[in-house]
Amino acid sequence: MAPVTIFAIAAAAGTGISAIASYSAYQQQAKVAESNADAASAAARAEEQRLRRDRARRMGSIRAAYGAAGVQATGTPLEVLGDQAMEAELDALAVRYGGAVRSRNFENQADSNRSSAIGSLIGGAAGVGTSLLGSAQAGAFKKSPGTSSDFYVPEAQHGSLY
């Protein structure tokens, strides 16, 4: 086997191995991003529950203070309780939304990594093909025996250009 062919096969194999390694790395990064998405969702759910419990305690404290002071839960005190409940709900929804956004960002990152993994395989296949075709082409353009010509021109083609 000619040295050029051996080197071409080695280069093609190296390109293929590199493509497979890149594919594996991107797939692993996608798994990490998916785990991060799950963790972001779980953290947001936990924070939302914590916030709701905290606000429920706060509302209970306000009601208890009103009761201890003999204030009726009508008119302005009722509006205060309503405003507190509305603010509590808005805060809980903001936490939920923030968790959903963080989770979706990680899911987008996972999708991007999976696309890059496929791209690395396609690029690797193209690189292997290029290496092998380049080697075949280099073998076709040998120097003519006994000349300094860069191209081998078979004897049958020597002759007039007309």
Please state, in angstroms and rounded to a whole number, the distance separating the CA atoms of residues 22 and 113: 10
pLDDT, tens only, 9-38: 888 888 889 999 999 999 999 999 999 999
- Residues of the chain with pLDDT below 50 are 144, 151-153, 158, 162
pTM across the whole model? 0.68
User: Rounded to whole angstroms, what are the CA distances from 30 to 51, 118, 127?
Assistant: 31, 12, 24
